[in-house]
Structure formats: C-alpha cells, structure tokens
Amino acid sequence: MKILVVEDEAKTGDYLRQGLAEAGFVVDLARNGTDGLHLALSERDAGYDLLILDVMLPGLDGWQVLQGVRQAGHEEPVLFLTARDHVDDRVHGLEMGADDYLVKPFVFSELLARVRSLLRRGSKSRDAEFLRAADLELDLLRRRVTRSGRRIDLTAKEFALLELLLRRQGEVLPRSLIASQVWDMNFDSDTNVIEVAVRRLRAKVDDAFEPKLIRTVRGMGYVLEAGEGAAGVPDRGA
Ligand code: CA
C-alpha cells in the first residue's frame, strides 16, 4: 500500500517516512503543499491509498492540498497532522473532507493505529484487506503473509514485491516496473537487485510448497499465477 506524506519539518517527515517504510508501506514524501498536491494528482495506477497532510505548510497549506485532491475526484482517506490543538481547526478540517486528525507531538504507534484504521475503513469490503493466490494469503493491514496456514516472515521490500505481484496476478511485470513500484526508483539495466529479491521471495513462499506461484518470463520479467497456466508446469524458468 502506498502512502503520501506531506510534511515540511525535515525531522518529522523523515521519521514518518522511515517508520511507515519499516511497517511495510511504500512512502512518498513531499516537503511542501505544492509538491504534495502535484504528487497526489500525478500518481498513476490506483493512486495513493492514504494521504498524511501537515496543516501548516509552505506553498499550499494542508487544507488547500485536501481541497485540490477532492476537487480532482480523489477519495483516498486523509489524516491531518497539526501542532495546533484547536477545536476550530479540527472542525474545519473534518468539514473539508479530512478523515482523521492527529495532534503533534504524537507517538508513532498511535499514528500507525490511525493509519491502519483509516485503510480498513477505506477498503470496500473485508476481502479487500487480503490478497490471495492458491493457499498463499497476504494480510495488507497486519502486514502478514501465510501459505498453507504457515506464517512466512518477509522483509518490507519482499512484502511490497509480493503485494505488487499479487495485485497484478497473471500479468508479466517488467523489471523496470517492479523497480519503480517497489524501490521507488529506476535501476540501471545491469543491476541484479530485483533478481536477488525475487529469488529470496521465492525461497520463502514457493520452495517448500506446491504449486509454484512465481515464474520468470525470460527477457520480460516476472509473473505470479495460480491458475491452470501455472499448475503442472515442471519448468518454471531460472
Ligand atoms: Ca508544518
């Protein structure tokens, strides 16, 4: 799941980015309202799953960012951060379409609880909290993966990679797309970072199980599929 943080205080922004990344989220950070709104509106695919907006920002303030986002028809949940503990501010923010409010300073566990609660509320049904293929299950909110009921421990990057493969099951994903979506950057074509990560992920979710779910499509990328196409194919590539 992808979260946009718009926060001009360097320390708070870095703290949020790091903490949320360690909790398994993919995080973009903008340091002012103008960049924040631009990112929120230009994010491709399904957009962000959640926005975390500071109220007092250079450029556009948090409310103006929210206004721009809602005017463009985006409905992702928004959590406001503010140092100002004034009832008026809260009412104003909620009237404008914010979903929750957190007053600074806050402890990270509180923020994480609010984030999970908003994401849960935002998901259409309880089923949207899980991604599945065969007996593999990924719990988006608790950041847990099981296969055949057995708990599998993944790093944050492995989790993000598996989430991407599961969301786009049956689709061959090029390395460049995986690089931009999971590592949030472009890699030189000779890097083997993705190959290594896929190998590690397979060792955890496929090696001890049948059917094998993750396949290499030589020269193209990777695909995860549990359908007839994957079952009973002994050679799934290198
Ligand atoms: Ca601020």
- Tens digit of each residue's pLDDT (9 = 90 or more) over 140-154: 888 899 999 999 999
Instruction: Identify which has the larger pLDDT, 42 or 123.
Output: 42
Which pLDDT score is estimated for 235?
45
Mean per-residue pLDDT for 101-108?
A: 87
Contact between residue 98 and residue 66 where contact means Cβ atoms under 8 Å apart = yes
Cα–ligand 1 centroid distance for 180 (angstroms): 28
Longest distance between any two alpha carbons in the chain, whole Å: 64
Q: Is the pLDDT of residue 40 over 90?
A: yes
CA neighbor of 81 nearest in space, from 112, 64, 59, 106: 106
Cα–ligand 1 centroid distance for 88 (angstroms): 18
Cα–ligand 1 centroid distance for 33 (angstroms): 10
- Residue 202: count other Cβ atoms within 10 Å of its Cβ: 17
Which pLDDT score is estimated for 125?
47
Which pLDDT score is estimated for 230?
45
Which of 15-24, 80-89, 116-125 tops mean pLDDT?
A: 15-24
Cα–ligand 1 centroid distance for 83 (angstroms): 8
Helix, strand, coil % (nearest 5) of the chain? 40, 20, 40
Mean per-residue pLDDT for 105-129?
A: 79
Cα–ligand 1 centroid distance for 152 (angstroms): 39
- Dig out the tokens for 94 from the structure: 């909620």
Per-residue pLDDT band at 232 (split at 50, 70, 90): very low
**Residues contacting residue 157 through CB under 8 Å, at least 6 positions apart:** 182, 183, 197
Which pLDDT score is estimated for 185?
64
- Residue 165: count other Cβ atoms within 10 Å of its Cβ: 25
Q: Is the pLDDT of residue 139 over 70?
A: yes
Cα–ligand 1 centroid distance for 123 (angstroms): 29
Instruction: Report whether the peptide linkage leading into residue 105 is cis, meaning its omega lies within 30 degrees of zero.
Output: yes
Tell me the C-alpha distance between 55 and 41, whole Å.
18
Listed range (101-115, 116-130, 210-224) with the worst mean pLDDT:
116-130
Contact between residue 52 and residue 79 where contact means Cβ atoms under 8 Å apart = yes
Cα–ligand 1 centroid distance for 55 (angstroms): 6
Cα–ligand 1 centroid distance for 53 (angstroms): 9
**Residue at token pair 């924040």:** 36
Domains of the chain as residue ranges with CATH:
2-122 (3.40.50.2300), 128-224 (1.10.10.10)
Which pLDDT score is estimated for 205?
97
Cα–ligand 1 centroid distance for 20 (angstroms): 19
Cα–ligand 1 centroid distance for 229 (angstroms): 52
Cα–ligand 1 centroid distance for 7 (angstroms): 6
- Dig out the tokens for 229 from the structure: 């196409």
Listed range (36-45, 128-137, 139-148) with the worst mean pLDDT:
36-45
Which pLDDT score is estimated for 160?
92
Q: In what order do the strands lie in the sheet with 130-133?
A: 130-133, 136-139, 144-147, 150-152
**Residue at token pair 């949320």:** 20
For ligand 1, an ion, list residues with CB under 5 A.
Answer: 8, 54, 56
Tell me the C-alpha distance between 43 and 36, whole Å.
11
Mean per-residue pLDDT for 122-140?
A: 78
Per-residue pLDDT band at 175 (split at 50, 70, 90): confident
Tell me the C-alpha distance between 81 and 111, whole Å.
10
